[in-house]
Amino acid sequence: MEKIWGQVEEFRAKYESTRDGHLPVDVFSLVEIDLRLNIIPFPGLTERFKVWAALRADFSGIYVDQETHYDLEAGEEWKLKRLRFSLAHELGHFVLHRKLPQEKHFAGLTEFANWTRSYEGKRDRIEREADEFAGRLLVPLDRLTQYYDDFMSSEFAASMHLTLKARELFAEHVANKFGVNRQVIEIRLDREGLWPAN
């Protein structure tokens, strides 16, 4: 994990949209403006392939579920959060795993999608790495620590037992600031060692 965290911080330092400290991280500008990757609406991506976003085999763009993409302005907040995390996850593949498929030649999206279902037996590790990259990118440690410290020094925290329920309430509260769902914050609390569940 520490190697991935270092790669996230190197990546963050390169691009204006992630350096400014604004939350939530504008992953859409990062993809389209900073990295100049195309965001390509794909009809039925989630329904057909069970993913919200997918990196193109040639690394020139990221497919996103067309319905979710078109509903961004008026759609449900949880969909925007899910798509934001999915784009960050694909950026994880872009940064960490770019060399993997270059050795292969794919006839089309379906062949590439089928190959990504196993990554030659490395799928679980590769997907965990991309998730870790996305989590650290969208939830910068310094900002999470700041919210955690503020919460722990609050009268509210002093008045209650620091149970798992309190942890859930904290995660729910700060999740909106980062533009992610509560579970992403809970995972960051565990991984960063700030407030482990156990």
> Domain check: are 34 and 68 in the same one?
yes
For 160-167, what is the mean pLDDT?
77
d(CA 64, CA 70): 10
> Domain check: are 115 and 74 in the same one?
yes
Alpha helices in the chain (DSSP H): 2-14, 16-19, 27-29, 45-49, 66-70, 77-96, 109-116, 123-138, 141-152, 155-158, 164-178, 182-191
pLDDT tens string 56-94? 878 889 999 998 888 776 668 888 899 999 999 999 999
Phi, psi for 62 (deg, rounded to 5): -130, 125
pLDDT tens string 5-20? 999 999 999 998 887 7
pLDDT of residue 40: 94
pLDDT of residue 109: 60
Mean pLDDT computed over every residue of the chain: 86
Residue 146 within any structural domain of the chain: yes
- Domain of residue 22: give its range: 2-138
Q: Do the beta carbons of residue 191 and residue 184 sit within 8 Å? A: no
pLDDT above 80: residue 122: no
pLDDT above 90: residue 108: no
Confidence of residue 37 (pLDDT cuts 50, 70, 90): very high
Please give the structure tokens belonging to residue 78. Answer: 């949880």
Any idea what the Cα angle at residue 11 is, between residues 38 and 3, rounded to 5°?
125
Q: What is the DSSP string of 44-56?
A: THHHHHS-SEEE-
> Domain check: are 84 and 175 in the same one?
no
* Overall domain count for the chain: 2
Q: Do the beta carbons of residue 140 and residue 12 sit within 8 Å? A: yes
> Domain check: are 122 and 153 in the same one?
no
d(CA 29, CA 134): 15
> Domain check: are 52 and 32 in the same one?
yes
Confidence of residue 115 (pLDDT cuts 50, 70, 90): low
For 47-63, what is the mean pLDDT?
88
Residue 124 within any structural domain of the chain: yes
